[in-house]
Amino acid sequence: MAEELERAAAQAAALTKGEAQARLTELADLLAQANRAYYQEDAPSLEDAAYDALKRELAAIEARFPELKRPDSPSEQVGAAPAEGFSKITHSQRMLSLANAFDDADVADFVAGIRRYLGLSPEAELAFTAEPKIDGLSLSLRYEGGRLVSAATRGDGQVGENVTANARTISDIPLQLTGAPEVLEVRGEVYMSHADFAALNQRQEAAGAKTFANPRNAAAGSLRQLDAEVTRARPLRFFAYSWGELSEPLAATQMGAIERLRALGFATNDRTRRCETVEEMLAHYAGIEADRATLGYDIDGVVYKLDDLALQARLGLRSTTPRWAIAHKFPAELAWTRLEGIDIQVGRTGALSPVARLVPVTVGGVVVSNATLHNEDYIAGRDANGQPIRPDENGIGKDIRIGDRVQVYRAGDVIPKLADVDLSKRPDDAKPYVFPTTCPECGSEAIREEGDAVRRCTGGLICPAQAVEKLKHFVSRAAFDIEGLGAKQVEAFHADGWITEPADIFTLEDRYGSGLQQLKNREGWGEKSARNLFDAIAERRRIGLGRVIFALGIRHVGEVAANDLARHFGSWAALADTVDAAAPAAHAHRAAEAAELAERRAAADAGRRASLAKAREAAWADVPAAARAAWEDLTGIDGIGATVAVSLATTFEQVAERASIDRLIALLEIEAPAARATQSPVAGKTVVFTGSLEKMTRAEAKARAEALGAKVSGSVSAKTDLLVAGPGAGSKAAKAAELGIETIDEDAWLALVNDAPEGAVHGDG
Ligand code: IVH
């Protein structure tokens, strides 16, 4: 390595400034091409060594002529810009799931069933493998000529997501095999170890980023990253346990095939055993269960597979599961304890969430002292439809009271839940729990809207709990992501009144950069860290519109919706004007929903059919045309429905909330989503896709159209320029015809856009 660096430096030393500049441009292009090929097209155009050599050459030239370094130099980039989502891979052989066995008898039945199916006597030899069932996510790796060519998630079993670039970053996954069949699909489980999971969550927390509920979520979230460099930084592991397409068999037995995979360089589970009787299978299960807590990774059972592959082939498959394998699941971990109290936590959107405070109890090796109680209906023993949950012998849902003996369990998630309540142990003085109707944090009224399972604090910004949660969301990674300002810092600043709303972050330096009370004098801060924080904040004054919209933490407006809105409106003013204008329509929409519900009930009581159209019409009767147009503009955006539109409009109407948003906006320099292509034939046009598309998914079509500068809308209106209609196009095609809107089919669309140059649409909008 040192030698190669020296060579690069010597090359650089021989260049004139003019030559250096020309070579830098060349190198930037070569690297960009290679990045695209590797990360987005999953078709590497360069050997790793050649790629590294180019990067070294670039770095050496930049070191010698720093003034020539381009602001967009590849030396500053990690990986390539994220692709627009994952492409799809159709599995050459379906990825299967497993039937379950829950007790010893199920396992005996499984073995007996196989004997019957194969016409074997109870005495005939029949061996099975038994191995841990890893709690991760399955992945299929395809090797051709020994080279890893693709990696796909399970998806629906038929079609998965192409995560090749990400899989390449996992060290347990070999990129190159020696002596492998020409075509080899290796299947197994991607997972994260307990230690790596804990360390990752610690890093996430320190960085003020979101933490993961359990190792499986962390593994899934890490594998499904659009930027493979993020995956690379996450400690993922892989166990191989199965295979798909093969150009030649791996072995004659399951055990032999696993040994072959191990010899090829795959990690296989060392608790895999060959068992010759049901008793041996169950003994191995018991052994694995006993060691469960010390394995260092999550498992949720043991998988038995028939060892003889010829017999496996004879048994074949049911619709989605093989007949020759079964998963023997571990029982859910349960424990009884006493409910000491019910705490109410208030979230970012004001939701009041009840949490059970328990006498600490060990559940499957973990001490549990609280559990979610979901919402007030859950405590009362009803589900969202008023049906009993935890029914007693009379079918009445058992309620939960403070002082009750309750049964706790841990499902896949880390947050424990309550399984049951023992009414025979209920203290005589236990009273039904009365869910608060005021916010425990700020005293404001907490109301529950029709159709909402959750009661919410109406205090908005005056509620300290909501304010702090909102601020945490505001600085989170997909939002403002300010270095040095994570959840912990926000909490501390909020507690001292330094930051009460997002705008305060951007005036922090004016208020606490100098004078008597200074940030650098606070505990945990110094001259340098204070300076760094102010600089990081100043840097974030310029920010993409999508991030701003998401950061506001408006209910139902997630990252995707925020970016959809940003792309559609292009500026804050355009968004705000439309949302403001749409307010009367949002009221009408809500009124119409309430009226419809009332009409449904009245009709049901009177035993007649509901007349919903009437109820709806009445609500919309007085809505001015401008409000209707704004409403249609908003809800016409692909991905934005009435729920988001209503949520935006109600938030923007709240006087205090709006003033706080306006104070923030005034301090920012908001960037429009990256320039759209202007030369494409669809630039600036509003396009609607309808019917079924055969050559691309909806998401792909939308991404491509947007990359070409088009707006994609979900509904046809007078503003629509072009309708792309696949087979089965119904009312939208009819409406387009009525309005005289140009309508083309999928092939014509592809012909139209295929050679068009794309604008830069990557980035955070
Ligand atoms: S074998 C045809 N072996 O469990 C066989 N699956 O519930 C396909 N899993 O989708 C699966 N550990 O993701 C097999 N040792 C193991 C496993 C395992 C975990 C997962 C796999 C599968 C799911 C079925």
Domain CATH number, residue 28 = 1.10.287.610
Q: Among 280, 310, 329, where does a domain finish?
A: 329
Residue 510 is part of a domain; what is its CATH number?
Answer: 1.10.150.20
Confidence (pTM): 0.53
Low-confidence stretches of the chain (pLDDT < 50) are 1-2, 39-43, 78-84, 413, 759-765
- Looking at the domain assignment, is residue 765 inside a domain? no
Concatenate the DSSP letters of all residues of 332-351 into one string. Answer: PEEEEEEEEEEEEEE-TT-B
Residue nearest to atom 17 of ligand 1 (CA): 133
Q: Which helix (H) or strand (E) holds 188?
A: strand 183-191
Nearest Cα residue to 705 out of 744, 750, 665: 750
Residue 128 is part of a domain; what is its CATH number?
Answer: 3.30.470.30
Residue nearest to atom 2 of ligand 1 (CA): 96
Please indicate, yes or no, whether residues 16 and 96 belong to a single structural domain of this protein. Answer: no
**Per the residue annotation, which of 55, 69, 133, 711 is the catalytic one?**
133
Kindly give the distance from the C-alpha atom of residue 133 to the centroid of ligand 1, in angstroms, as a whole number: 6
- Looking at the domain assignment, is residue 454 inside a domain? no
Structure tokens belonging to residue 181: 């069949």
Residue nearest to atom 5 of ligand 1 (CA): 96
666: how many CB neighbours lie within 10 A of its CB?
9
Q: Which of 94, 100, 129, 133 to mutate to test the pocket of ligand 1 (most atoms within 8 A of CB)?
A: 133
Please indicate, yes or no, whether residues 228 and 100 belong to a single structural domain of this protein. Answer: yes
| Measured distance CA(202)–CA(222) in Å, rounded | 15
Q: Domain span at residue 690?
A: 686-753
Q: Among 294, 329, 364, where does a domain finish?
A: 329
Structure tokens belonging to residue 559: 């990252």
Please indicate, yes or no, whether residues 297 and 415 belong to a single structural domain of this protein. Answer: no
Please indicate, yes or no, whether residues 341 and 466 belong to a single structural domain of this protein. Answer: no
Structure tokens belonging to residue 436: 């608060």
Please indicate, yes or no, whether residues 249 and 363 belong to a single structural domain of this protein. Answer: no
Please indicate, yes or no, whether residues 65 and 103 belong to a single structural domain of this protein. Answer: no
Please indicate, yes or no, whether residues 650 and 739 belong to a single structural domain of this protein. Answer: no
Atom of ligand 1 nearest to the CA of 321: 2
As for ligand 1, residues whose beta carbon falls within 6 Å of it are 96-98, 131, 133-134, 138, 189, 241-242, 303, 322, 325, 327
Per 3-state DSSP, the chain is made up of helix, strand and coil in percentages (nearest 5) of: 40, 20, 40
- Looking at the domain assignment, is residue 436 inside a domain? no
- Looking at the domain assignment, is residue 392 inside a domain? yes
Residue 416 is part of a domain; what is its CATH number?
Answer: 2.40.50.140
Kindly give the distance from the C-alpha atom of residue 286 to the centroid of ligand 1, in angstroms, as a whole number: 19
Q: Which of 96, 100, 134, 261 to mutate to test the pocket of ligand 1 (most atoms within 8 A of CB)?
A: 134
Atom of ligand 1 nearest to the CA of 95: 8
| Measured distance CA(468)–CA(463) in Å, rounded | 9
Alpha helix (H) residue ranges in 355-501 = 376-380, 464-474, 487-495
- Looking at the domain assignment, is residue 81 inside a domain? no
Give the SS3 label for residue 44.
Answer: coil
- Looking at the domain assignment, is residue 678 inside a domain? no
* Span 702-720, pLDDT tens digits: 767 877 778 888 888 888 9
| Measured distance CA(456)–CA(363) in Å, rounded | 32
Residue nearest to atom 10 of ligand 1 (CA): 97
- Nearest-10 crossing angle of helices 642-653, 625-635: 120
Residue nearest to atom 22 of ligand 1 (CA): 97
- Looking at the domain assignment, is residue 484 inside a domain? yes
Please indicate, yes or no, whether residues 167 and 240 belong to a single structural domain of this protein. Answer: yes
Please indicate, yes or no, whether residues 306 and 363 belong to a single structural domain of this protein. Answer: no
Please indicate, yes or no, whether residues 319 and 205 belong to a single structural domain of this protein. Answer: yes
Q: Specify the residue for token string 């709303």.
A: 501
Please indicate, yes or no, whether residues 188 and 297 belong to a single structural domain of this protein. Answer: yes
Is 488 catalytic? The answer is no
Residue nearest to atom 15 of ligand 1 (CA): 133
pLDDT of residue 765: 30
How many domains does the chain fold into? 6
Q: Among 53, 76, 99, where does a domain finish?
A: 76
Q: Which helix (H) or strand (E) holds 649?
A: helix 642-653
Nearest Cα residue to 329 out of 305, 307, 304: 304
Please indicate, yes or no, whether residues 531 and 577 belong to a single structural domain of this protein. Answer: no
- Looking at the domain assignment, is residue 680 inside a domain? no
Give the SS3 label for residue 670.
Answer: strand
Q: Which of 189, 273, 285, 324 to mutate to test the pocket of ligand 1 (most atoms within 8 A of CB)?
A: 189
**Given phi > 0 = left and psi -120 to 50 = alpha, else beta, which region is 74?**
alpha
